[in-house]
Amino acid sequence: MTDFFNKTDLSRNDAEKIISETLNNCDDGELYLENSKSESIVLDDDKIKSSTYSSDLGYGLRAVTGEVVAYSHSNEISRNSLKQSADNLSSTLKSKKGVYNYQIPKTNEKFYKDINPIEEKSLQSKLELLKEVNNYTRAKSGIVQQVTASFSGEHKSIEIIRSGGEALTDVRPLIRFNVSVMLEKNGKKETGVYGIGGRQSYDEYLKDDNWKKVCDEAFRIASVNLDSKPAPAGEMKVVLGPGWPAILIHEAIGHGLEGDFNRKKTSAFHNLMGQRVASEGVTIVDDGTLHNRRGSLTIDDEGTPTEKTVLIENGILKNFMQDRLNARLMNTRSTGSGRRESYKHVVLPRMRNTMMLNGKYSQEEMIKSVDKGIFAVSFGGGQVDITSGKFVFNCTEAYEIINGKIGAPIKGATLIGDGPSILKEVSLIGNNMMLDPGIGTCGKAGQGVPVGVAQPSILIDKMTVGGTQL
Per CB under 8 A, the segment of 186-194, 238-246, 402-410, 432-440 that binds other proteins is 186-194
Helix axis angle, 123-138 to 210-226, nearest 10°: 40
Please give the residues from 312 up to 331 whose contact with other proteins meets the rule CB under 8 A.
none
Q: Please report whether residue 132 would count as binding other proteins according to CB under 8 A.
A: no
Binder to other proteins among 2, 20, 51, 431 (CB under 8 A)? 51
Q: Please report whether residue 50 would count as binding other proteins according to CB under 8 A.
A: yes
**Which amino acid is it at 318?**
K
Any residues with CB less than 8 A from the CB of 209 and at least 6 apart, and which? none
Q: State in angstroms the smallest separation of the CB of 158 from other proteins.
A: 15
Please give the residues from 213 up to 252 whose contact with other proteins meets the rule CB under 8 A.
231, 233-235
423, 278 contact by CB (below 8 A):
yes
Q: Please report whether residue 276 would count as binding other proteins according to CB under 8 A.
A: no
Binder to other proteins among 120, 385, 407, 447 (CB under 8 A)? 385
Distance (Å) of CA 237 to CA 321, 383, 406, 415: 30, 21, 13, 11
Binder to other proteins among 2, 5, 12, 56 (CB under 8 A)? 56
Binder to other proteins among 32, 244, 391, 399 (CB under 8 A)? 391
Counts for the chain of helices (H) and strands (E), in that order: 11, 22
Q: Please report whether residue 409 would count as binding other proteins according to CB under 8 A.
A: no
Q: Please report whether residue 273 would count as binding other proteins according to CB under 8 A.
A: no
Binder to other proteins among 81, 262, 306, 378 (CB under 8 A)? 81
Question: Would you list the DSSP string of 317-366?
Answer: E---B--HHHHHHTTS---S-EE-SSTTS--EE--SEEEEPP-SB-HHHH
Per CB under 8 A, the segment of 97-105, 123-131, 355-363, 426-434 that binds other proteins is 123-131
Q: Please report whether residue 119 would count as binding other proteins according to CB under 8 A.
A: no
Name residue 170's beta-bridge partners. 158
Q: State in angstroms the smallest separation of the CB of 233 from other proteins.
A: 4
* Count of residues of this chain found to bind other proteins when the rule CB under 8 A is applied: 82
Distance CA 428, CA 460 (A): 8
Please give the residues from 449 up to 468 whose contact with other proteins meets the rule CB under 8 A.
464-468
Q: Please report whether residue 55 would count as binding other proteins according to CB under 8 A.
A: yes
Per CB under 8 A, the segment of 12-20, 54-62, 133-141, 152-160 that binds other proteins is 54-62
Distance (Å) of CA 181 to CA 129, 134, 149, 150, 223: 16, 10, 9, 12, 10
Binder to other proteins among 14, 20, 69, 319 (CB under 8 A)? 69
Distance CA 290, CA 299 (A): 13
154, 176 contact by CB (below 8 A):
no
Q: State in angstroms the smallest separation of the CB of 19 from other proteins.
A: 16
Q: Please report whether residue 418 would count as binding other proteins according to CB under 8 A.
A: yes
Q: Please name which of 24, 15, 12 lies closest in space to residue 85, comparing C-alpha atoms.
A: 15
Per CB under 8 A, the segment of 106-114, 183-191, 208-216, 237-245 that binds other proteins is 183-191
**Which amino acid is it at 269?**
F
Closest CB to other proteins among residues 310, 330: 330
Q: Please report whether residue 186 would count as binding other proteins according to CB under 8 A.
A: no
Binder to other proteins among 79, 115, 416, 447 (CB under 8 A)? 416
DSSP-derived 3-state class of residue 434 = strand
Q: State in angstroms the smallest separation of the CB of 81 from other proteins.
A: 7
Per CB under 8 A, the segment of 17-25, 74-82, 96-104, 283-291 that binds other proteins is 74-82
Binder to other proteins among 187, 209, 265, 403 (CB under 8 A)? 265
**Which amino acid is it at 131?**
K
Closest CB to other proteins among residues 332, 383: 383
Binder to other proteins among 5, 12, 14, 44 (CB under 8 A)? 44
Per CB under 8 A, the segment of 61-69, 170-178, 274-282, 312-320 that binds other proteins is 61-69
Q: State in angstroms the smallest separation of the CB of 122 from other proteins.
A: 9
Q: State in angstroms the smallest separation of the CB of 80 from other proteins.
A: 11
Q: Please report whether residue 182 would count as binding other proteins according to CB under 8 A.
A: yes
Distance CA 73, CA 126 (A): 35
340, 299 contact by CB (below 8 A):
no
119: left (phi over 0), alpha (psi -120 to 50) or beta: alpha
Question: Would you list the DSSP string of 366-406?
Answer: HHHT-SEEEEEEEEEEEEE-TTT-EEEEEEEEEEEEETTEE
Q: Chain centroid to CA 61: how far?
A: 25
Closest CB to other proteins among residues 285, 376: 376
CB neighbour class for 209 (10 Å; exposed up to 12, middle 13-18, buried from 19): exposed
Q: Please report whether residue 25 would count as binding other proteins according to CB under 8 A.
A: no
- E strand intervals along 86-164: 144-162
Binder to other proteins among 2, 169, 191, 319 (CB under 8 A)? 191
Q: Please report whether residue 98 would count as binding other proteins according to CB under 8 A.
A: no
